[in-house]
Each structure stands twice: as C-alpha cells, then as structure tokens.
Amino acid sequence: MHRWAKVSTAVVAACVVAASNASAQSANINVTANVLQAISVTGFRALDFGNVFPGVNKTIAPSAATSGRFDATGQAAANVNMTFTLPVNLVSGGNNLPIGTWTGCWDTDNNPAAGCTNFTPSAAASATTFSAGGALFVFIGGTVSPAANQAAGAYTATATLTLAYF
C-alpha cells in the first residue's frame, strides 16, 4: 500500500507539469507607427509679371527669375501631394486682369534651371517628394492677358499651395 502511494504521487505530478507547459501559449506582434516631420511651407517669392501692356499677353516661366516660389520642409524622402488655390484674375480696385495657363515645376534645390520637374498647378493633387534632406522648392508661372482697353494700375491676387503627405 505504501509503495503504490508513492508511484501514484509521482505520476500525477508529472502530468500536472506537462499540462501546464502545453495548455498556455503566446505569440507577439509589434504595434508600429511612424510620426512624420511637420510640413512647413512658405511663400518665398511673388510671381511678378512686371509691366504689361494693353492687348499684349505676358508669360512668366517657372524657371524665370520672377516666377513664384514656395519653400517647404518636411519628412525626408516622404511623398506629398501639392494642391493649389489659384486666382482667375488679378485685381486692381474694380478692374480684373485675367490670369491663366498656369505652369509649375518642383525641385529639391532652389535652382529651377536644372532638374526641375514640370507639372501643372491646379486644385487637383500633383505628387512630389521631399529631398533626402527634407527640402522641397516649388516654382509657378503663368500668363496674364490684358484687354486692349485694360485699365492702368497695380493688379494683385493670391495663389496658395497646400502640401499633404500621402
């Protein structure tokens, strides 16, 4: 009787250990997120048509010295969409000067003469990418079309660039 009791105890103990090891299992996964650098965009230079004459269209190319320029910083090498709010007229008091045929190019340095990628500024998104250093330069040009009887004056309007990661 005594010998049986010892054997039983040993076997039951072994079962408890085995069951404990096998009955609970776990596996890990990672939870991850990447917080991007905040985007900063500033209007660096106005798009300046200079003097224009009644009845004579004038075009400024994105690569011109008087093109509009936006400077932006953000997450290195991240993709962003550019969207624009563009005027259809420059305004001087109650007079309008039509503007259109917008052109643009973006670059990772501030020299649009080389390596600038062309696009058409509009309310529709255009994709671009920050440089490895997190820089982006956007240049815009356009054409104004003064009427033959265009009133003299200083005409202005505002163009807005919005950048958003995608």
Partner 1 sequence: MHRATIPATLLSLIAAPAAVAQVSVTGIRDLAFGFLTLGISSTVLPSDPVKSAQWRITAPVGQRIQIRLTVPNQLLGPSGATLPVSINNGDAFVQGTWTGSVPNSFNPGSNVNFNFTGGTQAIIRLGGQITPAANQRPGTYTNTAVCTITVF
What whole-number distance in Å separates Cα of residue 131 and Cα of residue 133? 5
Window contacting partner 1 (CB under 8 A); options: 29-37, 49-57, 100-108, 139-147: 29-37
Window contacting partner 1 (CB under 8 A); options: 24-32, 58-66, 98-106, 120-128: 24-32
Q: Is residue 33 a contact point for partner 1 (CB under 8 A)?
A: yes
Nearer to partner 1, 22 or 132 (CB): 22
**Residue 74 exposed, middle or buried by CB count within 10 Å (0-12, 13-18, 19+):** buried
In this structure, how many other beta carbons lie within 10 angstroms of the beta carbon of residue 36?
Answer: 13
Q: Is residue 149 a contact point for partner 1 (CB under 8 A)?
A: no
First-to-last alpha carbon distance for the chain, in angstroms, is: 78
Q: Which of 2, 5, 6, 31 touches partner 1 (CB under 8 A)? A: 31
Q: Which of positions 4-23 make contact with partner 1 (CB under 8 A)? A: 4, 7-8, 11-12, 14-15, 18-19, 21-23
Can you read off the two tokens belonging to residue 50? 């200079």
